[in-house]
């Protein structure tokens, strides 16, 4: 899945009754799994703990995902779909370039603040969890991170091309700074219980954009 186009098997329509029941069970498991993982991490997920809170037994969950690693990979994919729904799709209402970039920043801040995931940003949790590990789950987490930062970078490039940001803007540096500021807000809100960190993060991103030539009027609240 990429940010531009995604398909979520748990939401795909089906006319087969048994397949439809399986899809519903899969969705129920993943809805719970991503919330748990956002708080405790993907390694803490167990088939038994999920089965204890769902109308799906442990063997049924194993049949759906083929074991713990399959569940973890499916959870990352499901979380990516939820992230796109919460952040990327709404931001598409804004024009490509600076307007889209600023909308993405604001939508991300709102996504973390309103706890789409119980533990704040799902990906912030699992990035820290898997940053020193190897394997397919880490690869999926890395792919999600790169997909997001590439999307930010793309709209920074479009803003430069349109003259909305200075021609000498380092778009890699800019996307790094934006990501760092948003992550800091997410972490501070969780650790300190301080909702004000989101306003500070938005002010910091706004300052970074204005320092690169963005028109302050283009960065008004939407």
For residue range 77-132, list pLDDT tens digits in order.
Answer: 999 999 999 999 999 999 999 999 999 999 999 999 999 999 999 999 999 999 99
Mean pLDDT (whole number) for 178-190:
98
Does the pLDDT value for residue 4 go beyond 70? no
Query: How many Cβ atoms from other residues are within 10 Å of residue 45's Cβ?
Result: 19
Q: How far apart are CA 182 and CA 74, in angstroms?
A: 25
Residue 209's pLDDT is what? 98
Residue 181's pLDDT is what? 98
Task: Sort residue 77 into left (φ over 0), alpha (ψ -120 to 50) or beta.
Answer: alpha
- The answer to whether 122 and 43 are in contact (CB under 8 A) is no
Residue 1's pLDDT is what? 45
Query: How many Cβ atoms from other residues are within 10 Å of residue 128's Cβ?
Result: 13
Q: Which residue has the tokens 């993907």?
A: 42
- The answer to whether 129 and 41 are in contact (CB under 8 A) is yes
Identify the weakest region by mean pLDDT among 54-68, 153-167, 177-191: 54-68
Mean pLDDT (whole number) for 72-78:
98
**Whole-structure pTM value:** 0.90
Residue 107's pLDDT is what? 98
Q: Residues 22-56: pLDDT tens digits? A: 689 999 999 999 999 999 999 999 999 999 999 99
Q: What percent of the chain has pLDDT over 70?
A: 91
Residue 15's pLDDT is what? 54
Does the pLDDT value for residue 3 go beyond 70? no
- The answer to whether 60 and 25 are in contact (CB under 8 A) is yes
Q: Tell me which DSSP letter residue 86 carries.
A: I
Sign of the torsion formed by the C-alpha atoms of 220, 111, 23 and 28 = negative
Residue 53's pLDDT is what? 95
Q: How far apart are CA 216 and CA 218, in angstroms?
A: 5
Residue 23's pLDDT is what? 83
DSSP conformation letters of 119-148: TS-HHHHHHHHHTT--SHHHHHHHHHHHHH
């Amino acid at each position: 899945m990429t940010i531009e186009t995604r398909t979520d098997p748990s939401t795909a329509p089906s006319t087969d009754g048994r397949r439809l029941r399986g899809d519903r069970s899969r969705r129920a498991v993943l809805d719970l799994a991503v919330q748990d993982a956002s708080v405790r991490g993907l390694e803490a997920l167990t088939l038994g703990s999920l089965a204890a809170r769902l109308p799906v037994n442990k063997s049924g969950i194993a049949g759906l995902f083929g074991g713990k690693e399959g569940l973890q990979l499916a959870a990352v994919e499901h979380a990516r779909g939820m992230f796109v729904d919460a952040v990327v799709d709404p931001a598409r209402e804004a024009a490509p370039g600076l307007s889209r970039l600023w909308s993405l920043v604001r939508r991300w801040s709102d996504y973390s603040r309103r706890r789409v995931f119980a533990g704040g940003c799902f990906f912030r949790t699992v990035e820290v969890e898997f940053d020193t590990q190897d394997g397919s789950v880490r690869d999926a987490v890395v792919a999600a991170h790169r997909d997001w930062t590439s999307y930010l970078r793309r709209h920074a490039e479009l803003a430069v091309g349109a003259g909305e940001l200075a021609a000498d803007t380092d778009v890699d540096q800019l996307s790094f700074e934006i990501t760092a500021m948003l992550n800091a807000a997410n972490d501070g809100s969780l650790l300190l219980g301080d909702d004000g960190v989101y306003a500070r993060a938005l002010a910091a991103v706004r300052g970074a954009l204005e320092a690169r030539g963005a028109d302050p009027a283009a960065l008004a609240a939407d």
